[in-house]
Structures are given as C-alpha cells and as structure tokens.
Amino acid sequence: RVEAPASQADVGGGAGEIPFEDLPATKFQRVSAVRLLEAKQTIPHFYLHGECVIDKMMELRKEFNAEQEKMKTKSSSASSNSVKLSVNDFVIKAAAAAMRDVPEVNAQWMEDRVRQFRRVDVSVAVMTSAGLITPIVFGADGLRVSEISREVKSLALLAKENKLRPEQFMGGTFTISNLGMFGVRRFTAVVNPPQAAILAVGGSSRDVLGVNEDGASVQVGNVMRVALSCDHRVVDGAVAARWMNAFKHYASNPISILM
C-alpha cells in the first residue's frame, strides 16, 4: 500500500491534497481491467431485458432440499452425498437448455467467421478477495441440476482459496452473473470476450401478475429480472429474443429441465 505523505495528507483548508491510500491491483484485477476495456471498446453490445415467474422453481427447490434433509437424518452416507440447490443452480441449467435450443448464441466472433460450439460451458461469476473470476461448469447442458450445484460449490471454494487451475476459468462459451443475493433488482453486464453473450440475474420480488377473472382479486407471483447482453456481430435481436423466451420458459417451468 502507498499512502500520501503526512505533510500532504494532513494539509487542511482545501488547498492541500485529499488524503488517500493506493491499493496495489491483484493479478485478476489487472487481467479483468484489460479484458473489460477490450470488451467495451471492440464489442458492439445490445441488451434484452426479461422477467421470469419463478414460483414453480422456488417450490421445486424447496421440496428437493426438504427431501435431502430427510435423507441426511436417516443415513450418514446420504448426508455426505446430499446437495442443497440454489436458485442459481436452476438458472445455470435453464440457460444451458436455452443454449441447446438456440445454438446461435453459443458462439464467438472469429473475424472472418462465427464459431458455433457444440457443448455449453457456462462461466459463473464469483467474487473473491483477489477480484472477480469466472470458473467454468463444463458441459452444463448435459448435467443434472444437482450435478451443477455440486460443481459450482466446488469451483467457488477453489476460487476463494485461489486454487483454480487456468483451464478451470479460462474459456467458457457463456457467462452468468448473479447479484440477486445482494439485493440487486436488475443490472446489465459486460460481455466476457471472446464469448458472445452474458446473462445478468437480479433478485426476485412478489409482484402483481394480473387480475383474476372475478375482477376483484389479483394474481401475485415471484418475479426474477434478467438482462441478456449480446455481441451484435454474432447475435442479432431476433436470435436473442428466441433465446430469452426459451430461458424464461425453462426458468418458469423447471420440471422441463429435470426430465
């Protein structure tokens, strides 16, 4: 750390320099700074916003986790194999399933061609003491939600302990950044090059969905807000809309991604 000299930092009257402290950037912060600047300077971004009614997701998650707790109390072996699902686990699976439906988004710009990938590798933004890093859930489209949950927890722990190998966070075909657990309602994210899209996930809230047929009562549900940022060189508006509709379907009807 580099601090301002006391002779400068303590000068009052508004004529001196404001007290400050310089904090050295971590390796991850330096790399991230270069990549983010590259992304904003070279990638033509556009954004789509969507809302998902996630009552079925939350109920399914509640039932699954309750069943896991019952199994833990019955058997020690079951306890070691149990997993607690998060909303983000379902989000990752729903995004991967949408990628399989709309593979044009699972791609990257190659200057003279577009490379479309046949496997969905989802990068998941994780905040650590060293900065933001995006470990990868490989083949998320072929994993069960419980398998995704185990993988994300394992990767997040490795990231926070600074034990990730380069191949575990360099690459990926799509990124998810979730700030819902921090109370953020909605935000947009910067595309993670060379990927073509990133999904920003906000928190959910109880919102009015519509008026019932009797006209005297309303329907209320849990609504999660998301924003898809795209590289317009790879993904056009109509393709992004198809992807968003597919994602909303899977997020609102999670039983379809468990089959």
**Residues noted as catalytic:** 232, 236
Of 137, 174, 180, 178, the closest CA to residue 155 belongs to 137
> Which residues are 74's β-sheet partners?
none
Residue whose entry in the numeric block shows the structure tokens 């400050």: 20
Which secondary-structure segment (H or E) carries 137? strand 136-137
The Cα 98–Cα 59 span in angstroms is 21
From residue 146, alpha-carbon distances to 75, 113, 226, 257, 258 in Å are: 19, 36, 22, 12, 10
From residue 249, alpha-carbon distances to 50, 54, 97, 167, 175 in Å are: 11, 10, 10, 32, 19
Of 135, 131, 107, 105, the closest CA to residue 247 belongs to 105
> Which residues are 158's β-sheet partners?
none
